[in-house]
Structure 1
């Protein structure tokens, strides 16, 4: 085991020992430490991870959702944290269903504000105590949550401002391109093996100086 993995493994054991009633389990997976946290303990664990001297995860880099429709608690909320002091990254996961809110961590990491809004918008996971929980990516009046596995791909409307009518209009979704055609004639498919500037890499040592 590498020194980095060993340090993360020890950190996982340390956090579990300190918060035995709040950490359901932890594991090392693909060289990353994952903490599985009880739903009602997310704020307590987050506060500990931010402030404890062995942790100091001062930055919440991302919060995202994962949908497992076959599970009773179909959603996982995933928190990716960074400790610049210890040069470590860890991941927290908490599970919930469609109706049970997840306590917000905005008061602990202000960056969580927009991340939680995006998770709400895309998955419909509600965050209690969030100061401004509203959609952030979809249009006004959008119905549904697009990243749910059971979200239909057709039958929805899109919203835009019509300058001629001077108002917001709702109309059926129109896909300008149903699928991509790989005709190998665009700059991306038809590019030459050597990009401009790459010829410098083929110069022998001492040339071009």
Structure 2
């Protein structure tokens, strides 16, 4: 099995032109950056677009490598959902992106690529991007009772709750986050915890 590698722009230009002709009005943008072709399409057309890219003889992107998202809270459509595809026949990769907000679901592509099942579940779990008609859209990496979506830019670093095993109740319990700084022993001579005079610094003044 050959490994797909990045290609210079002049090699990807024919594929870019082919995708532009193939997708027509479904194509919002096509650009080559970092030796990879990225095409942007409307979110509601993603199933149709991926089907065409999978089946067209000039593309044959039959492997869905990943589905993930990028969060830009300052944008009206804060999420960019990213699909990475591989053509083993032509030894090429392509990136397909769609934009959505936190309330508008993106059609699930599980009917086109069965591997999208867990990828979309992970994207829902981490970012809160919804996928309509998904056969089993539930959390994948966090607990079922988890509050929020950890990879959103506005998710607090400490989380909302912490969990521990309670031996009396013999189950896992959730509690508000507690930062127990008063029990911490600070070493102010450590370069990681203090900015005072460190051992050996006195030599610099002599």
Match of 1:158 among 153, 157, 162: 162
Q: What does residue 149 of structure 2 align with?
A: 145
Aligned partners of 1:139 and 1:159 also within 8 Å: no
Cα separation, partners in 2 of 1:3 and 1:141, compared to 1, 3 Å: closer
- Unaligned 5+ segments in structure 2 are 1-5, 185-189, 193-206
Aligned partners of 1:57 and 1:83 also within 8 Å: yes
1:20 is paired with a residue whose SS is helix
Q: What does residue 136 of structure 1 align with?
A: 140
- Unaligned 5+ segments in structure 1 are 184-209
Match of 1:83 among 59, 74, 87: 87
2:50 is paired with a residue whose SS is helix
Aligned partners of 1:140 and 1:159 also within 8 Å: no
In 2: Cα distance, 1:104 partner to 1:35 partner: 18
Match of 2:117 among 105, 113, 117: 113
TM-score (norm 1): 0.78
2:28 is paired with a residue whose SS is strand
In 2: Cα distance, 1:49 partner to 1:71 partner: 28
Match of 2:71 among 67, 75, 85: 67
Q: What is the RMSD of the two structures over their aligned residues, measured on CA atoms?
A: 2.5
Q: What does residue 24 of structure 1 align with?
A: 28
How many equivalent residue pairs? 180
TM-score (norm 2): 0.79
